[in-house]
Amino acid sequence: MQRLASGIAILLATSACTTMEVHDGMPIVTEPMVAPILTTPEAQDNLTYAEPEKARVTHVALDLALDFAAKRVGGTADLRILADPGEERLVLDTNGLEISRVTDHVGRDLTFEIGEQVEEGGKGAPLIVMLNGVRNVRIHYMAPADAEALQWLSPEQTAGGEYPFLFSQGQAILNRTWIPTQDSPGIRQTWEARIIAPKPLDVVMSGVAQGEPEDLGDGRRAFRFIMDKPVPPYLIAIAAGDIDFRAIGPRTGVWAEPTVLPRAHAEVGDTEEMVVAAEELYGEYRWGRYDMIVLPPAFPYGGMENPVMTFLTPTFIAGDRSNNGLVAHELAHSWSGNLVTNAVWGDSWLNEGVTTYFENRIVEAVYGKKRAEQEAALMYANIQEVLGEVGNDAPGTALSTDGGYELGSAIAYDKGAFFLRTVERIVGRERFDAWLRQWFDNHAFQPATSEMFYEDMMQNLVASEAEAQALMLRDWIFAPGLPSNVAKPDPAAFAEVDAAVAAYADRRTIPTAYPNWTAAEQMRFLDNLPATLSAEQLAELDASLGLSDTGNNEILFLWLEMALENRYAPAVPLAEEFLARVGRAKFVRPLFGVLWDQGDWGRPIAQRIYAKTHDTYHAVTRAGVDRVMAAD
């Protein structure tokens, strides 16, 4: 059960701040949407310096200029503050920001200090502002050239090769390296921005664009954006470069570099259908438009669910929409993650696990049950693989953790999804869908915790004590391992493929049906081949199945991983080319890990490649590779 700090609750009811909307050409004054702050012990975020129960940010207004030559962004951030009566201390999160001045809304200086820097985990340093009775604060600042949230690309690192590019990645706590605010998922904020960029670059953000850009007459243009719904601050995102737009449906479209746009548009052509399917499942899409931008390959993730502007890696483009589960996933975040957000990062399964379940339901609605079941079976295999490596009792295999565990996607994403699949199987799809829809409706634009999720299930879903025992809810959420009631995927989903794996293991028979298999079937086959293979066997697989020439990066990754694990020298040039053009951490980190594990054979290769690629990777990807290559 959520509750508000008492002083702020009073202020919420009496706030005079307003926003303006326009209807039929007439302005309409509306009250701003202010999200609650959770104050229960499990909602306390130890990755923020903020004290939101005393003084919190409710709105951020950015006025920033992009300097591509210096690789810096700077300007002002105006913060609207909600505070207890008499509270004079505002605590913000920063990491490397150069603060030159802090004032009130009329330009009077406010006293401030920057506290001790904490490098571990990227927590940074607190910015403490003495409010002196005001509730609107302006911060004049410059972000550092090495701000971890920002990736500045040279023209050579783009598809067009003519103009530079910028993109941000804020999750989990990186936005404090370019925005001074309370950087916690439980402190939701509305925001707006004015961004100045050099011509002819275009700017997009995770807010709604406001008209055409303003020509400033000095070779620069100003772009304006508004997000009038409170979002966690990690979802404030920006991209700027030589990009064009192409519509998909009445509320969907895609941005990309001009040379990439035709392929990108063809790949995401099912997006409008996905939005319709998602709404039929769990209610209205509440963000207006759903646009996407396909970024250069340096983007460290498959996708990022920034509201109204999903960021996507180009590595998902396969030419046959076989990797469009990624689009379904980021779209599903518009409900689970963006609409209802984990209050602390130890509960990130509330974002990712619920979204992965929702993604699979969208895939089923758009592409059919067979594909959905196959993709679910791949997820289940991921869970089994991780549990086999770390053990069923490893504390990081619980869904709700203290946030300090890094076991990849198999737990928060896949175990979370199988938790909901299991609940659906036990109570029935109709009841489960009605419950999940009301969860989104009743907690819209609010933070949540695992305890809240559990209590809501007990109050609004579970029909009897016997059903509660059958569901094993607390075991799923708070205990390690995989509960005994897990709804396992249909073994028939990959019956033909698993038979082919067995035939190859026994007789080295290469399946002639492989070219006609789905991408999921091909991945299942490659991922289950014997661990040890000779150079001759690898060469035969490559020649027969066309692995080195595949246009699907997921399959190419599996092939390179298998080849490098077996020290297959002919694959090294392809691996080097792949690692030079792709910055997605999901691919980069494991391949460097495989090379590093190969000792005297692989480590010199890894060092040589990383010396060339280090500066082209986002900070998130570099950090992962650095950890791998620091291992003994």
pLDDT digits (tens, 9 = 90+) for 397-436: 999 998 766 656 899 999 999 999 999 999 999 999 999 9
Question: What phi and psi values does residue 615 have, to the nearest 5 degrees?
Answer: -75, -10
**And the tokens for 17?**
């701040």
Beta bridge partners of 197: 221
Query: Of all residues in the chain, what percent are helix, strand and coil, respectively (each to 5)?
Result: 45, 20, 35
Question: Which single residue is written with the structure tokens 């609650």?
Answer: 36
Question: Taking the model in full, what pTM does it have?
Answer: 0.92
Specify the pLDDT at position 120. Answer: 87
Beta bridge partners of 256: 244
Question: What phi and psi values does residue 34 have, to the nearest 5 degrees?
Answer: -120, 120
Specify the pLDDT at position 192. Answer: 98
Specify the pLDDT at position 17. Answer: 36
Specify the pLDDT at position 605. Answer: 98
* CA 51 – CA 321 distance, rounded (Å): 45
% pLDDT > 70, the chain = 94
Q: Among 41, 53, 45, 55, which Cα is nearest to 127's? A: 55
* CA 112 – CA 89 distance, rounded (Å): 10
Kindly give, in sequence order, each residue whose CB lies less than 8 Å from that of residue 450, ignoring residues fewer than 6 positions away: 42, 347, 349, 350, 399, 400, 477, 478
* CA 121 – CA 105 distance, rounded (Å): 33
Kindly give, in sequence order, each residue whose CB lies less than 8 Å from that of residue 232, ignoring residues fewer than 6 positions away: 184, 185, 186, 187, 188, 189, 341, 447
Specify the pLDDT at position 66. Answer: 98
From the number of C-beta atoms within 10 Å of its C-beta (0-12, 13-18, 19+), residue 65 rates as middle
DSSP 3-state of 69: coil
Beta pairing class for 136-142 and 98-104: antiparallel
Kindly give, in sequence order, each residue whose CB lies less than 8 Å from that of residue 516, ignoring residues fewer than 6 positions away: none
- The CB density around residue 234, as the number of other CB atoms within 10 Å, is 22
Specify the pLDDT at position 406. Answer: 64
What are the angstrom distances between the C-alpha of 592 and each of 57, 299, 535?
Answer: 41, 17, 20
Asked if 268 and 327 touch (Cβ cutoff 8 Å), the reply is yes
**And the tokens for 555?**
């399959």
Asked if 27 and 37 touch (Cβ cutoff 8 Å), the reply is no
Query: Looking at this protein, which amino acid is placed at residue 593?
Result: G
Query: Which residues of the chain fall below pLDDT 70?
Result: 1-31, 404-408
Q: Among 327, 358, 364, which Cα is nearest to 340's? A: 358
* CA 267 – CA 88 distance, rounded (Å): 52
Specify the pLDDT at position 536. Answer: 98
Asked if 149 and 97 touch (Cβ cutoff 8 Å), the reply is no
The dihedral formed by the CA atoms of 528, 386, 553 and 541, expressed in degrees to the nearest 10: -20
* CA 373 – CA 100 distance, rounded (Å): 55
Beta bridge partners of 30: 19
- The CB density around residue 573, as the number of other CB atoms within 10 Å, is 10
Dihedral sign, CA of 228, 229, 233, 235? negative
Question: Which single residue is written with the structure tokens 């016997």?
Answer: 466
* CA 117 – CA 614 distance, rounded (Å): 26
**And the tokens for 142?**
């410059």
What are the angstrom distances between the C-alpha of 511 and each of 311, 320, 368, 468, 521?
Answer: 37, 21, 25, 46, 12
* CA 63 – CA 65 distance, rounded (Å): 7
* CA 356 – CA 328 distance, rounded (Å): 9
Specify the pLDDT at position 13. Answer: 29
Asked if 208 and 193 touch (Cβ cutoff 8 Å), the reply is no
* CA 327 – CA 622 distance, rounded (Å): 25
Q: What is the 3-state secondary structure (H, E, C) of 372-396?
A: HHHHHHHHHHHHHHHHHHHCCCCHH
